[in-house]
Structure 1
């Protein structure tokens, strides 16, 4: 590996211990590969390494690790889309979408997403690399990315670890990346998963207003609230469709509902939640007893948990309690938070929340060995740094989260900017119905609704782990990119 420049510095991990590590500040490693996608052999280069974050005086204050995939048989990139990919957390590496979703290599897992041994990765025949180049970016303290202490050994946390700070420095970093890789003329897309949707929603406007970089699309995978308020009765009502989906998957609903196609059933529950349940919840303790009883009966019918439990919680069953309660009487297992298809086993069946997130432990089982092996042995990036699947970024300053409004403003300023929302029906952390709600609330004027679209999948937070949805979700991105590219010579105007 050729180091353009490196620093030997003291890095503190969580303040518990210190060790001397060599952090490559500005490094590039290039390897050549090929993959078969949609029956076509695609040759590509993988560029991996680190690129600095600069301060106002031009000194490096952080080193961000990235991996950039570029088709090597297309020389003219002015019409070649570039997808910039972020994961979430905050504090999560880009590993998840990198080696399980859009990239040219994916995990060896079973068709439903569960780990198998021997661990490893394989070619991804559904990657979007046929239609777009991709760069996976790791923010500070994720993956191999690290802050660089000043001369006194201090790290300016406020420059990295917060909603606004995160967006600001990443926009600057992307400006440098575009210049170094000659991608200013390319159509540009941001994709973010989970907290990454907060990140890319804010970046859409920051890139336009501070970097004068205009996008063609933003893809929100399992989106967070993106600063859109839904507290109180709305948040409670919005839970029910997810409850239905999880119960349907575990065969916990009445048989007449189990026999229904999931998407059709969910449409019915959505209408009930909006038109009937929400008015009952709004009146709270002043709701007529008969209406409260009717609501509890209907919620029990649609959720797979008892009317008694629902009434004991005043119709507001906590979502963590649902993960514990759904299968308590049947099998005693808990269901997963990020993907409720996964089962957990607690020390005792009693209690009001699961002991652990069963889906996350399963995912770390397969992702961690795969990414560590892949980056070192296939992409030839050699380092003794620990790869942070989840890094020390907390406390995270969440004040001033106006990212949904930022995205709306970016769309208003840029007629060429479209948005795609992707969600799994069995995601209990960032539920699909909350994702729909955010999309509906994003532009209350309705004047841009034809530029907003939603796709749902019969899986969870990382819908792409399920083989069928790996194909479908990538195809949806591929179609979104192709449809959002303006026709040659078409002006960006209303």
Structure 2
């Protein structure tokens, strides 16, 4: 970008979809992300696990509210992707802190709902509708004259009513039933019956991302299955896969320039949008100050449900992307329906986009309108079906 002032003025434009007209926005960079850093000579590892991370953010929120005299203001906490699990973990540590609402954007709420592990049948069930809608988008299945939402709804019905019972039978499934299920799976997700049968009816997400368009030497994206890249492309430095939805991330320093030039933040630090160093060393079994119990199952829904039961006016907004296989919509819905979260106080919205719910002006506008209505307490249309 040219450093001259005239170019600068044209580079940044006002955001007509901002929430600043209905809320003060406070953004928090957890330790090691954004502009946040560990003190020189310090150790960030105590923060790089679910409880340590959540506790540090919750402490900052409480201190900010106290410092600025905002304890009695309506408080909404938002978290995107892993931030959804962070928010859920914060609910375990909340104490007497009042919260008016949670905003969960493409959230991870239950790790097992998307973990491709032997014996974890739920991940295959939850990933299936997302695979089907990816096949729909890339014209690898018979669309049957349906739009993406309707096609995905049919896939979800099959996953719950036929696929799930078949998986639960394990190797006790009759040969005839296995053959019927394999044929139906293949028809929905655009793979051959042989590929499905050889995978024992269980196509992992990584296998699917690499296989759907393999005949064209392409891989589809985990964060957005509409995106494609070369199947055997060399991974970018520090990125563990050749996923096109990661490789095609912007590499300019627009964020840094926005902080320095627009917001006048006095810092020499660069804004870290994603750090694979911390991601790769994340300690899922941290000190668990909230319960001191061994952790074998990483789920956040019940913690949200407990707080919503205690705080009767608390509401939740949950948004998911139709083409997201990082935190599949069905996995999010599964946790909401199994975490004792009162559904009459949950607004579910699905957008025809990927993991980022605001990647086009159209979806950004929908995203903004929905959140405006939610924060203002108005009725938000349920677009989850």
Instruction: Considering fraction of residues, name the structure with more strand.
Output: 1
1:322 counterpart = 2:208: yes
1:236 maps to: 124
**Which of the pair is proportionally richer in helix?**
2
Aligned position for 1:197: 84
- Among candidates 187, 195, 199, match of residue 74 of structure 2: 187
Larger Rg: 1
Is the contact made by 1:216 and 1:484 (CA closer than 8 Å) also made in structure 2?
A: no
Give 1:12-51 correspondences, 5 Å limit: none
Out of 251, 256, 259, the residue aligned to residue 372 of structure 1 is: 256
Structure 2 counterpart of 1:471, from 359, 365, 380: 365
Indicate how the Cα distance of structure 1 residues 234 and 346 shifts in structure 2: closer, same or farther if over 3 A, else same: closer
| 1:132 corresponds to which of 11, 23, 29 | 23
Conserved 8 A contact 1:425-1:459: yes
> Residues 481 and 426 of structure 1: is their aligned pair in 2 closer, same or farther, counting only changes over 3 Å?
same
2:248 aligned to 345, 351, 362, which one?
362
Contact 2:112–2:123 (Cα < 8 Å) also in 1: no
Report the TM-score, using the length of structure 2 for normalisation: 0.85
How many residues of Structure 1 are paired with residues of Structure 2 in the alignment?
348
Task: Classify 1:227/1:411 alpha carbon distance in 2 versus 1 (closer, same or farther; 3 Å).
Answer: farther
Q: 2:301, 2:336 within 8 Å by CA — same for their partners in 1?
A: no
Contact 2:109 2:335 in 1 (8 A): yes
Gaps of 5+ in 1: 1-118, 486-494
Q: In structure 2, do the counterparts of structure 1 residues 228 and 340 end up closer, same or farther at CA, with 3 Å as the change threshold? A: closer
Q: Which residue of 2 aligns with 1:157?
A: 45
Q: CA deviation at 1:225?
A: 3.2
C-alpha change, 1:121 and 1:439, in structure 2 (3 Å) is farther
The Cα of 1:481 is off from its aligned counterpart by 1.4
Gaps of 5+ in 2: 1-9, 235-239, 286-294, 380-385
Q: Which has the higher contact order (CA 8 A, sep 6+)?
A: 2
Deviation per CA, 1:187-246: give whole Å up to 9, x if none: 110111010001111223423x0xx32111101111113467676222212211001111
Query: Aligned equivalents of 1:176 and 1:226: distance in 2?
Result: 29
Q: Is the 8 A contact 1:339 1:359 kept in 2?
A: yes
When the two chains are superposed, the root-mean-square deviation of aligned CA atoms in Å is 2.2
**Residue 278 of structure 1: aligned partner:** 164
Equivalent position SS for 2:274: coil
Bigger Cα displacement from structure 2, 273-282 vs 247-256:
247-256
> Does 1:219 find its partner at 2:103?
yes
Between the aligned partners of 2:348 and 2:322, the Cα distance in structure 1 is: 12
Separation in structure 1 between the aligned mates of residue 241 and residue 79 of structure 2, nearest angstrom: 29
**Greater Cα shift, 388-397 or 212-221:** 388-397
